[in-house]
């Protein structure tokens, strides 16, 4: 999976780099060096996905803040942050051992998970005349990466089982919070930045891009049993990352900001 993803990204990078070989200076470029903006991102793929991935746009829109540094009209360096928040249910299978006969039983628990993800993004833009002009009608190709960190909150949940005396026992697991390691994302795309009015200070921008997170986010979801309660965290993490992947693999961004 990772090898195929890397090959696709390499091909797209080659295509975008080829598109951006020729750059024409435009007399309307006002020598802006810094641009600041904010916007929202969303993937239409979410509308076609099964639950719990089929979030509506107003529930899964991803707000972002952007900073663009433009040392030359040809290239710019972009940094930013993007925020995601999802709520979903998981049904992990909890395995436990009977002490008297050594037999194992499985029970299923219904757990509500709330996850917040913060992505730090880093991109290089190459404005190209193959697709248009430089600012104020700047079209560009872009490539870069993102660093994604997830924060999870799992509500308290209960499950019941029969003990060695055939009595019904109900066990309650308290609510818990945990954070995950940083996951890498590969970003490729293109966009258009258009300034408003003749003074060329505020701008509106759109992007169409791929932000593919690199990782194995499905191995635990297909297992028949997950040992103890640690397995529920594994399922919560993988489910959250797969929802985020669905909302990033083909992403539309709308950004509004100003330059100085």
Residue 253 confidence class, pLDDT cut points 50, 70, 90: very high
Per-residue pLDDT reduced to its tens digit, 195-212: 876 666 888 898 999 999
pLDDT digits (tens, 9 = 90+) for 6-36: 455 555 545 444 444 443 434 345 678 899 9
Q: Is the pTM of this model over 0.85?
A: no
Per-residue model confidence (pLDDT) at position 214: 86
> pLDDT over 70 for what percent of the chain?
68
Domain ranges of the chain: 2-259
Residues in the chain: 260
Q: Quick one: average pLDDT of 68-85?
A: 90
Confidence of residue 37 (pLDDT cuts 50, 70, 90): very high
Half-sphere exposure of 196 (CA within 13 A, CB side): 8
> What is the pLDDT confidence band of residue 52, given thresholds at 50, 70 and 90?
low
Residue 114 has pLDDT above 50, yes or no: yes
Q: For 232-256, what is the mean pLDDT?
A: 88
Tell me the pLDDT tens digit for each residue of 154-198. 999 887 776 666 667 777 888 989 898 888 999 999 898 888 766
CATH numeric code, 2-259: 2.40.160.20
Instruction: Please tell me the predicted confidence (pLDDT) of residue 120.
Output: 96
pLDDT at 28: 43
């Amino acid at each position: 999976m990772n090898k195929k993803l890397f090959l696709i990204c390499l091909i797209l990078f080659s295509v975008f780099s080829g598109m951006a070989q020729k750059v024409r200076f435009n007399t309307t470029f006002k020598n802006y060096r810094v641009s600041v903006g904010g916007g929202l991102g969303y993937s239409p793929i979410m509308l076609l996905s099964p639950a719990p991935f089929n979030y509506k746009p107003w529930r899964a829109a991803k707000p972002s803040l952007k900073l663009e540094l433009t040392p030359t009209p040809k290239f710019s360096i972009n940094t930013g942050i993007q925020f995601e928040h999802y709520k979903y249910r998981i049904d992990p299978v909890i395995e436990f051992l009977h002490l008297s006969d050594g037999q194992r039983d499985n029970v299923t628990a219904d757990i509500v998970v709330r996850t917040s993800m913060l992505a730090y993004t880093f991109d290089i833009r190459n404005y190209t005349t193959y697709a248009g002009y430089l600012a104020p009608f700047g079209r560009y190709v872009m490539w870069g990466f993102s660093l994604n960190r997830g924060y999870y909150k799992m509500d308290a949940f209960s499950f019941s089982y029969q003990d060695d005396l055939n009595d019904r026992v109900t066990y309650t697991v308290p609510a818990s919070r945990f954070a995950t390691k940083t996951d890498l994302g590969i970003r490729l795309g293109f966009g258009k930045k258009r300034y408003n009015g003749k003074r060329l200070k505020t701008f509106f921008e759109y992007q169409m891009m791929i932000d593919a997170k690199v990782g194995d986010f499905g191995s635990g979801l297909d297992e028949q049993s997950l040992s103890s309660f640690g397995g529920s965290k594994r399922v919560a993490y993988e489910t959250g990352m797969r929802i985020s992947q669905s909302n990033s693999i083909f992403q539309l961004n709308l950004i509004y900001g100003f330059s100085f």
